[in-house]
Amino acid sequence: MNPARKLRYAMVGGAKGSFIGPIHRMALRMDCLADLVAACFARRRAANLETAAELGLDPARVYPDWQSLIAGEKGRVDFVVVATTNETHYAIAKAALEAGMHVFCEKPLSLSVKEAGDLGRIAKRRKLVLGVPFTYTGYPMVKLARDLVKKGELGRIDKVHLEYVQGSFRRPGKRKAWKSDPRIAGPSCVVADIGVHAFTMIEYVTGLEVRSLLADLSAYGNPDGLDDDASILMRLSEGAKGALVTSKVATGEENGVRLRVYGTKASLYFDQEDPNKLVVRYPDRPEAVYRRKASYVNSISPRSAAASRFPAGHHEGFVEALANIYDEFVAAISSGAARDYPGAEEGVRSMRFVEAALASDRKGGRWVRL
């Protein structure tokens, strides 16, 4: 994808030493889609200036806070990347959209459905692109899974199971601190942090909508009481049912994202820790193992083939998947056309999922509609 001109972007958050900000910068550099020209990387002046110096930014375009960045860069940048903690997402994204800037905002898009819907309405009214990094939808084999379902390879979908489990909260460290603090993380920890990835991935691959859910949330190691483990039953459109398990206290797990989709004719299995393959199983013949970048993939899923960057056998992962999403996001800015990236609709639906899970748990495990 080669836009007519290279885009320019500003970043809020993502100072040296953070996790997600540098990942965004790597993903954008991968296809040379946009230049980072302005930033407010951190509230702390030293961290802000040190990060800017390492990245070679003009000191005149390094701002002490996000408010002055948006005021100073209005009309000078094409989009803003919001890579801050949860409680700031809505205010920054809203101000940027109202200043006429496209926005790529970390998940969760906001702390409530109301806020997320507000951002979606502003973006639509201003004809701006609003993207959310539900990164697992950018994996080539996830796109292949989506297209196999669309083509009817699995038949009617009856059952979906997705687990997204980490053991990170069994290890002491700084990342745990703010994600456990409701003043920063919001009303949910694990459901809003990684559960939204799982939810979005289910709807993306199956093409079905989650209509209602029943949630059992736990706080095994969380002193503030925010959820760090969740088991969620789901009723989807077209009669399908699902189960979503997500946890930050799954001892020994690293980043286990495992999707199973069961249809009347076949089932599929994807494990993002083994991202180069997709397994399809049949009741009456041997299983098929699809390999990323294999010659036969293009005829089945041109989208999957286009999202594969390296020759077969070379592992592609998280950064490449995010780069695929950015490719589509930048193309949407350049062309104004709908593209294959998670946007305002996915951001709003993911917040409906969070609020429904919290409501279901509060009601003692009752079914709640999204």
Residue 174 has pLDDT above 50, yes or no: no
Residue 173 has pLDDT above 80, yes or no: no
Region of poorest pLDDT, from 72-86, 160-174, 232-246 = 160-174
Pairing status of strand 288-291 against strand 277-281: antiparallel
Same topology between domain 7-131 and domain 139-342+349-362: no
Residue 2 has pLDDT above 50, yes or no: no
Percent of the chain whose predicted confidence (pLDDT) is above 90 = 89
DSSP 29-95: HHTT-EEEEEEE--SSHHHHHHHHHHHT--GGGB-SSHHHHHHHHTTT-SEEEEES-GGGHHHHHHH
Give this prediction's pTM. 0.95
| CATH numeric code, 7-131 | 3.40.50.720
Q: How confident is residue 4, by pLDDT bands cut at 50, 70 and 90?
A: low
Tokens coding 327: 């490719």
Q: With both helix axes pointing from N to C terminus, report the angle between 196-206 and 140-150 in degrees, rounded to the nearest 10.
A: 40
Residue 3 has pLDDT above 50, yes or no: no
What are 369's strand-pairing partners? 212
Residue 177 has pLDDT above 90, yes or no: no
Which residue ranges make up each domain of the chain?
A: 7-131, 139-342+349-362
pLDDT at position 176 is 58
Average pLDDT, integer, range 321-328: 97
Residue 1 has pLDDT above 70, yes or no: no
Q: How confident is residue 164, by pLDDT bands cut at 50, 70 and 90?
A: very high
* Long-range CB contacts (within 8 A, 24+) of 57-63: 61/37, 62/38, 63/38, 63/39
| CATH numeric code, 139-342+349-362 | 3.30.360.10
